[in-house]
Amino acid sequence: MAGSSRVGVLALQGDVREHVRVLTDLGADVVRVRRPDDLVGLGGLVLPGGESSVIDKLSRTFGLREPLREAIAAGLPVYGTCAGMILLADRIVDGIEGQQTFGGIDVTVRRNAFGGQAESFETDLDVPAITGAPVRAVFIRAPIVEEVGPAAETLAALPDGRVVAVAQGRLMATSFHPEMSGEDRFHRRFLDIVAA
Ligand code: GLN
């Protein structure tokens, strides 16, 4: 399945290399997306972790914002981690002045939602949509999904109920970074959606 999929990783800023490695190891043909032309012929796209406000700005500078929004609206499978989750959210709280998202998932996301010492942490997470052992979830200045609208579905929440993974149609987003903990099941799920 994964062998013939050509997928992109948005490569404006962030942990691009980690995503490229996971996808390549799963047999995908991976393209780094920096210009609108790079989107042509892609079966799916990953939005990496990093700094969402920077990725937002660069996407406008490089003329990628509108083509990306069109591709998402047209049904392109997209998986976003952390900053990538923020970029996929329809609504954002605590963005920097003027910060925009690409949108696509009917959720409200709060940036940098874990203050103080809890800013970065790891935990084992049960994710019903992911079969097998619990997911080792790495959170780094992570966002939280504050509101899940009717079009979106919750994939995972912390024990206290805070939502950290969501999906809507061919879009999926996690607050944490599977690409940093050797966890490849979210990328497998993404490639399954691409192949479907
Ligand atoms: N805090 C970052 C942001 O607002 C996200 C951090 C991450 O991707 N690890 O975009």
40 within some domain = yes
Ligand 1 near 16 CB (within 6 A): no
- Measured CA to CA, the distance from residue 136 to residue 52 in angstroms comes to 23
Please tell me the distance between residue 121's alpha carbon and the centre of ligand 1 in angstroms. 14
105 within some domain = yes
105-156 tens-digit pLDDT:
999 999 999 876 578 999 999 999 999 999 999 999 999 999 999 999 999 9
Q: CB under 8 Å to 1, separation ≥6 — which residues?
A: 191, 192, 195
107 within some domain = yes
114 within some domain = yes
Task: Return the CATH number at 88.
Answer: 3.40.50.880
Please tell me the distance between residue 28's alpha carbon and the centre of ligand 1 in angstroms. 26
| Count of domains forming the chain | 1
Per-residue pLDDT, averaged over 4-10, amounts to 87
112 within some domain = yes
Would you say residue 1 has pLDDT above 50? no
Print the domain residue range for 144. Answer: 6-195
Handedness of CA 35, 151, 158, 195 (dihedral sign): negative
1 within some domain = no
Q: State which ligand 1 atom lies nearest to the alpha carbon of 54.
A: 10
Question: Average model confidence (pLDDT) for the chain?
Answer: 95
